[in-house]
Chain A
Amino acid sequence: MSRHMISRRQSLQLIGGAGAGLLSLSMPAIAQQAAGRVVVVGGGFGGATAAKYIKRLNPKIQVTLVEPLQRYYTCPFTNLHFGGLRTFEQQGHNFNELRALGVQVIHALANDVDNKKKTVTLAGGRVLQYDKLVLSPGIDIRWGALKGYDQAAAQLAPHAWQAGPQTTLLKRQLDAMPDGGTFILVAPDNPFRCPPGPYERVSMVAHYFKTKKPKSKILVLDAKENFSKQGLFLDGWKKFYGDMIEWVPLSKDGKVVRVDAKTREVETEFGKKHKASVLNVVPPQKAGFIADRAGVTTPSGWVPVKAQTFESSQVADIYVAGDATVAAPMPKSGFCANAQGKVAAAAIVASLAGQPAPKASWANTCYSLIAPDYGISVAGVYEVQDGKIAEVKGSGGVSPREASAEFRKLEADYGVAWYNAIANDAWGTKA
């Protein structure tokens, strides 16, 4: 009986306060209870989106966003910069819209989390108290996990897997490379940020070489046997770039086990050495370090979450969105980070109002550009089944292997339209 009463109470509270921000005038008591303090760490696709959508759902909640960069650069679409199709600045976004919405934006590094006192400590010592914490820290590189690849090595053989100085370093190296050089991309085993990313990067570097340095070669040394949108990429490479790109899978000794950044030489599992003119190492990764500090990671380096809310499975009141999470079958994409940020935002708004979380739902779309006017995509729709994230049966998948030039052109155009739309959704950036 008492269990029944509680569930009835919860359902009535849900009725009363679900739109707390909208209904606050008509039910002051519950709406006042709904207000709380949320700290969001990370101003990327997941964090900026979560901060914005919490404010949109209930403006009375105090939201603080902690992000070191005044201007945030997305990794998505930097590949087009390597292709010479976009400037680096086109991937930059500021936080003006979030400030206008009433989000307090603090440009500092979050150094530590005390998950018992519920505090975040910033570099410089400032302490922020939270009722709910959102972590969207993206990835950190597992320095040293690949022999010879440490922070010093990344200054010679960039990863460019976090947008910023690494991106511009790799671009400068490509620009300086003589025609006839070899670009080597070392691709990691799963899981890693942006599964189609290495292969789009190779496509865009190939486009740049084709137009500026046509005698050059590209070698992809892969620790995997298969990769995202593989058939479509292989078809597209052949169509546009002939034999310029060679992809070496795990079974053909593609796994790199040692990097010598000084000589730009890599060694594979069975001892074969390859020398690059420009060496791009996409190394093993883990959740951003603040997730470790908050106690939400497992020894895997990633963050398990409760499917329905994206609250940490390990620590109450800490929600995690984006690449840092274990959210398979959702990929580590900007689109998913945004979608997860919204689910976390709605769950937090409901929880602060004493209500159960709304029903979760996510989608993903990842466009990749193989050549100008030749885009491909993968899509998925996800829901909670038996407490786990699952792809809705019959949904999703990749672009058809056989498609018209018009179809590929549309997907190329939609890719740009997607970027502009999601940047506007997350940061308010106008294209």
Chain B
Amino acid sequence: MTGRPKLLSLITGVALLAAGGAAQAQSLDAAVLAAPCANCHGTDGKSSGPIPPLAGRPAIAIAAQMKAFKSETPPPGTTIMNRLAKGYTDEQIETLAKYFSEKK
């Protein structure tokens, strides 16, 4: 308990930043969740090849597409994304969709 005043002052110091900082903390988790997507869709989802880019697309569109991939009747032409999308909860899909929608 001897360290408590110091801890409290630290808490006071960073608490001011909490509102903006919380978003950053979440974004590090989101960045890790999104990290493997880059291996096909490009760094930050900025693909220049035949695999579609994700960066800057509306979150609602990315999430809808992921949920369609995840379903037992994925859209015609679906290959690997059915198997990958099934690895993510709907909540994680929303996180990924928001993450890539904010990449410009």
Chain A contact residues, CB within 8 Å of chain B: 1-2, 5, 8-9, 12-19, 22-23, 26-27, 29-30, 53, 57, 335, 338-339, 342-343, 346, 349-350, 358-365, 377, 379-382, 391-392, 394-397, 399, 406-407, 410-411, 413-414, 417-418, 420-422, 424-425, 431
Interface residues on B, range: 35 or more
Mark contacts of B39-73 with chain A using CB atoms, 8 A cut-off: 1 yes-contact digit, 0 otherwise.
Answer: 11111000111110000000000000000000000
Question: Could you tell me if B36 and A361 are in contact, using CB atoms closer than 8 angstroms?
Answer: yes
Question: Could you tell me if B84 and A379 are in contact, using CB atoms closer than 8 angstroms?
Answer: yes
Question: Could you tell me if A5 and B4 are in contact, using CB atoms closer than 8 angstroms?
Answer: yes
Chain B contact residues, CB within 8 Å of chain A: 1, 3-4, 7, 10-11, 13-15, 17-18, 20-22, 24-25, 27-29, 31-33, 35-43, 47-51, 77, 79-80, 83-84, 86-88
Contact of A381 among B7, B50, B51, B87 (CB under 8 A): B87
**A361–B10 alpha-carbon span in the complex (Å):** 31
Contact of B80 among A342, A358, A379, A392 (CB under 8 A): A379
The minimal Cβ–Cβ distance linking B53 to chain A, given in whole angstroms, is 10
Contact of A358 among B28, B48, B79, B88 (CB under 8 A): B28
**A57 surroundings in chain B (CB, below 8 A):** 28, 31
Question: Could you tell me if B7 and A399 are in contact, using CB atoms closer than 8 angstroms?
Answer: no
- Select from chain B the residue with minimum beta-carbon distance to A30: B14
Contact of B29 among A2, A17, A358, A365 (CB under 8 A): A358
Main secondary structure of the interface of A (DSSP, over half): helix
Question: Could you tell me if B80 and A26 are in contact, using CB atoms closer than 8 angstroms?
Answer: no
Task: Pick the 8 closest A-B CB pairs, nearest first.
Answer: A381-B87, A395-B87, A19-B24, A363-B36, A16-B14, A18-B25, A342-B35, A15-B21
A-B contact pairs, 28 of them (CB 8 A): A2-B1, A8-B7, A12-B10, A12-B15, A14-B25, A15-B17, A16-B14, A18-B21, A18-B25, A19-B24, A27-B17, A29-B13, A335-B39, A343-B35, A346-B32, A359-B29, A359-B32, A361-B32, A365-B80, A410-B79, A411-B80, A413-B50, A417-B51, A420-B49, A421-B41, A425-B39, A431-B48, A431-B49
